[in-house]
């Protein structure tokens, strides 16, 4: 997989010499060609170590709350940790490459709307190859991406740690015959390729071994999945998923007021306290401007128990999204 190896500590100082622009142009071109691109050594390994501790701690809290996590197949979970309890959020959300590429892809009015974590436990099985959501009209008609997902592993992934798999160059593939779309619309796009198409994608899958300090940027439409985790011989592998969308995306909202008016808990958003919002307004105003958020508590100490609304029906069924049709 094509990768860039920036020095994140010097980007701010080097931005004037054009190096950031050149790197972003490379990322943009590769993303449109392959559907995924890696950034090596984008953050310090200490960042990943701290995030590994924080995510693992919050996962245990979410796991023992009804509805706190969502199943993504056997022994595989997803949840959305509070950003104010996982401070590594700020480093990735404000990374110069992330913000510059988001503007290059989506313009100044992009929204950051997901901070989630994927956690396969020992014994997790191969996931069905899938997209994160169906292709929308802007992408189908104009081949224009409207979202990206940024993945960062919190550990150095070994082959038995359920590494990420991806079929490059599949982000513009026709998904009208995929499962997981609108059954009432024969032309609707789906998320899960079936039968021969599924087997074809499985043959194209490449295994990516994530490493601390690296992160990948992909189209959420690129066919991908998590692989198996060996029972008793693997460790917990938290991987962060941070998503950014354009105004063309179905999940984009102008602000908290519009989000509340749509009255749909399944629209992705970052849930924060008033205390944290005020802190962002004072110290990180640009980030707050681009954050799709909901206030759920007055203070950090009063944050409610975890509840995960962001689900993928096919993966919740288990590793066979066709099971419900049989």
Which of 52, 54, 82 lies closest to 68, judged by CA? 82
Each residue's pLDDT, cut to its tens digit, for the chain (326 residues) gives 676 655 444 333 334 445 899 999 999 999 999 999 999 999 999 999 999 999 999 999 999 999 999 988 888 999 999 999 999 999 999 999 999 999 999 999 999 999 999 999 988 999 999 999 999 999 999 999 999 999 999 999 999 889 999 999 999 999 999 988 776 566 679 999 999 999 999 999 999 999 999 999 999 999 999 999 886 666 778 999 999 999 999 999 999 999 999 999 889 999 999 999 999 999 999 999 999 999 999 999 999 999 998 665 555 544 555 554 43
Specify whether the CB–CB gap between 59 and 117 falls below 8 A.
yes
Secondary structure (DSSP) of 56-87:
HHHHHHHHTSTTSSEE-STTEEEE---GGG-T
- Kindly provide the residue ranges of all beta strands, DSSP E only, lying in the chain, ordered along the sequence: 3-4, 36-39, 70-71, 76-79, 111-120, 147-153, 164-166, 206-208, 215-218, 224-226, 239-245, 270-273, 293-297
Count up the domains in the chain and report the number. Answer: 1
CATH number for the domain spanning 164: value is 2.60.120.620
Q: How far apart are CA 150 and CA 219, in angstroms?
A: 9
- In terms of residue numbers, what domain contains 291? 3-325
Q: What are the backbone angles phi and psi of residue 274, rounded to the nearest 5°?
A: -60, -40
Cβ atoms of 163 and 227 within 8 Å: the answer is yes
Rounded to an integer, what distance in angstroms lies between the CA atom of residue 42 and that of residue 316?
Answer: 33
Structure tokens at 304: 């409610």
> Length of the chain, please?
326
């Amino acid at each position: 997989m094509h990768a860039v190896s920036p020095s994140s500590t010097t980007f701010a100082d080097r931005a004037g010499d054009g190096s950031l622009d050149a790197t972003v142009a490379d990322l943009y071109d590769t993303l449109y060609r392959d559907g995924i691109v890696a950034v090596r050594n984008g953050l310090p390994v200490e960042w990943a170590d701290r995030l590994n501790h924080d995510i693992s701690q919050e996962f245990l809290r979410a796991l023992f709350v009804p509805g706190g996590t969502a199943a993504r197949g056997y022994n595989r979970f997803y949840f959305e940790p509070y950003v104010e309890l996982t401070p590594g959020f700020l480093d990735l959300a404000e990374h110069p490459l992330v913000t510059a590429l988001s503007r290059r892809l989506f313009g100044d009015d992009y929204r950051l709307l997901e901070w989630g974590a994927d956690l396969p436990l020992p014994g997790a099985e191969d996931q069905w190859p899938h997209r994160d959501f169906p292709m929308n009209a802007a992408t189908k008609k104009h081949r224009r991406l409207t979202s990206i997902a940024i993945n960062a592993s919190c550990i150095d992934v070994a082959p038995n740690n359920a590494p990420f798999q991806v079929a490059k160059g599949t982000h513009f593939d026709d998904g009208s015959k995929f499962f997981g779309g609108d059954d009432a619309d024969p032309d609707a796009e789906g998320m899960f390729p079936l039968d021969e198409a599924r087997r074809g994608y499985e043959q194209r899958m490449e295994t990516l071994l994530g490493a601390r300090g690296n992160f990948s940027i992909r189209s959420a439409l690129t066919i991908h999945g998590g692989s198996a985790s060996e029972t008793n011989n693997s460790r917990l592998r938290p991987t962060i998923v941070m998503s950014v969308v354009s105004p063309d995306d179905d999940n984009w909202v102008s602000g908290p007021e519009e989000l509340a008016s749509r009255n749909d808990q399944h629209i992705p958003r970052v849930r924060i306290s008033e205390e944290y919002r005020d802190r962002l307004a004072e110290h990180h105003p640009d980030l707050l401007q681009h954050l799709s958020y909901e206030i759920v508590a007055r203070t950090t100490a009063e944050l409610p128990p975890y509840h995960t609304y962001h689900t993928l029906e096919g993966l919740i069924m288990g590793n066979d999204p066709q099971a419900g049709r049989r």
